[in-house]
């Protein structure tokens, strides 16, 4: 096993899980209601693509979920990054904002979803606001720590060369903090993506998360498993896209 490359080990682990899945379902060790077989999932996927679910096709449900994720993540990450950079530069602003950020960051998102529903209703506003609040503290802490971890001699050298505070911020502080900002963005996106599913389950009438819950109510476990696979694969694809962007944008990180 040690002589195998990493990609081969990954492939073997996936193949092992798929083989166990096929064996368990083919031998009838588990009922289809609890674990549909590959053929059942394939047929369920075709039905969702052709006929849809409750008036919307699978791509439409997924598209609505991704739209919510994109809106909540982008607004929350941008606001959090701007706030975190300012907190890293200004100790007084950090003292003012840090208690609220640290309170919000570990707070389960579902804890304030009920309040958002009361304030904003059960429509898109409450779900996107919750995703915004999920992304903001993670991005803020990453940006602040990125600024705090800049070597002091780098800042002193820029000032000694005659750079103004504005130039130091844009040409030294922001680029130096960028690797941690992008790492924080990946973490924030994962939290937002997981939070979206919970929001759709509790306060939704469309989207991939709502489809999974509603299909489970009618014992359509094939639809539910298809939805879970779509969520997982889409999440991996989005994370790999962010990782690729991170390597392209901050190619100097770690060197």
* pLDDT of 194 over the 70 cut: yes
Average pLDDT over residues 182-199: 87
First-to-last alpha carbon distance for the chain, in angstroms, is 31
Residue ranges covered by each domain of the chain: 1-30, 34-249
pLDDT (0 to 100) of residue 255: 54
Distance in angstroms (rounded) separating the CA atoms of residues 210 and 231: 12
Distance in angstroms (rounded) separating the CA atoms of residues 36 and 215: 14
Q: Are 179 and 170 in contact (CB under 8 A)?
A: no
Distance in angstroms (rounded) separating the CA atoms of residues 73 and 58: 22
pLDDT tens readout for residues 107-122: 887 778 888 888 888 7
What fold, for 34-249? MetI-like fold (1.10.3720)
* pLDDT of 214 over the 70 cut: yes
Q: Are 196 and 72 in contact (CB under 8 A)?
A: yes
pLDDT (0 to 100) of residue 203: 67
DSSP 8-state symbol, 52: -
pLDDT tens readout for residues 85-100: 999 989 999 999 999 9
Q: Are 89 and 173 in contact (CB under 8 A)?
A: yes
Averaged confidence pLDDT in the chain = 87
| Cα angle, residue 46 at apex, residues 44 and 52 outer, rounded to 5° | 85
* pLDDT of 135 over the 80 cut: yes
Backbone angles phi, psi at 221, to 5 degrees: -65, -25
Could you identify the residue written with the tokens 């059942």?
Answer: 40
Distance in angstroms (rounded) separating the CA atoms of residues 123 and 37: 36
Q: Are 130 and 123 in contact (CB under 8 A)?
A: no
Average pLDDT over residues 5-10: 80
In angstroms, how far is CA 212 from the centroid of its own chain?
A: 18
């Amino acid at each position: 096993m040690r002589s195998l490359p990493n990609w081969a080990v990954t492939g073997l682990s996936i193949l092992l899980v798929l083989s166990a899945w096929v064996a368990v379902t083919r031998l009838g060790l588990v009922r289809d209601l609890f674990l549909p077989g590959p053929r059942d999932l394939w047929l369920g996927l075709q039905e969702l693509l052709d006929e849809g679910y409750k008036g919307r096709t699978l791509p439409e449900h997924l598209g609505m979920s991704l739209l919510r994720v994109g809106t909540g993540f982008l607004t929350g990450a941008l606001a959090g990054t701007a706030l975190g950079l300012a907190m890293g530069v200004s100790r007084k602003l950090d003292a003012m904002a840090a208690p609220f950020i640290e309170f919000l960051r570990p707070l389960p998102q579902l804890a304030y979803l009920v309040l958002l529903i009361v304030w904003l209703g059960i429509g898109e506003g409450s779900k996107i606001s919750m995703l915004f609040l999920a992304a903001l503290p993670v991005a803020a802490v990453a940006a602040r720590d990125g600024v705090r971890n800049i070597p002091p001699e780098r800042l002193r050298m820029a000032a000694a060369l005659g750079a103004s505070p504005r130039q130091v911020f844009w040409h030294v502080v922001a680029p130096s903090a960028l690797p941690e900002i992008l790492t924080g963005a990946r973490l924030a996106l994962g939290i937002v993506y997981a939070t979206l599913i919970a929001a759709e389950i509790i306060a939704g009438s469309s989207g991939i998360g709502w489809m999974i819950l509603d299909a489970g109510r009618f014992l359509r476990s094939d639809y539910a498993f298809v939805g879970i696979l779509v969520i997982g694969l889409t999440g991996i694809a989005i994370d790999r896209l962010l990782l690729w962007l991170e390597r392209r944008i901050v190619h100097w990180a770690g060197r």
